[in-house]
Amino acid sequence: MNNRNRLGRPCKNRKINFKHREKFFKPTGIPLSGLEIIQLSFEEIEALRLKNVENYDQIECAKRMSTSQSTFQRILSSAYEKISDALINEKAIKILKE
């Protein structure tokens, strides 16, 4: 489906300053081929970085990502849910390329 036929509002470009060389994180001792993979977007990684590493409040995080506070909260909640699932259920985490 191309963007012209999408319903709803068009996606906005978000500001993302996260750069990372690795693209997989996994439990030790288990081959990647034997693990379910959870995918994290760069948006989700950037939200985690701003909130938990840089320690900004959600209003400032949303400003830095050029999004609304409610959208930032949805991105952050999605990231927390995925990471929790991966840690608790021994799944690999893959960071998607932009």
Which residue segment(s) compose the domain that 29 sits in? 20-95
Over range 52-79, report the average pLDDT: 96
Over range 64-80, report the average pLDDT: 96
On whether residue 40 sits in a domain, the answer given is yes
**CATH code, domain carrying 50:** 1.10.10.10
On whether residue 7 sits in a domain, the answer given is no
- The pLDDT confidence band at residue 27, using thresholds 50, 70 and 90, is very high
pLDDT at residue 33 in the model: 92
Query: Number of folded domains in the chain?
Result: 1
pLDDT digits (tens, 9 = 90+) for 43-65: 999 999 999 999 999 999 999 99
- pLDDT above 70 covers a percentage of the chain that reads 77
On whether residue 8 sits in a domain, the answer given is no
- How far apart are the C-alpha atoms of 65 and 35, rounded to whole Å? 32
Are the beta carbons of 47 and 14 closer than 8 angstroms?
no
pLDDT at residue 2 in the model: 47
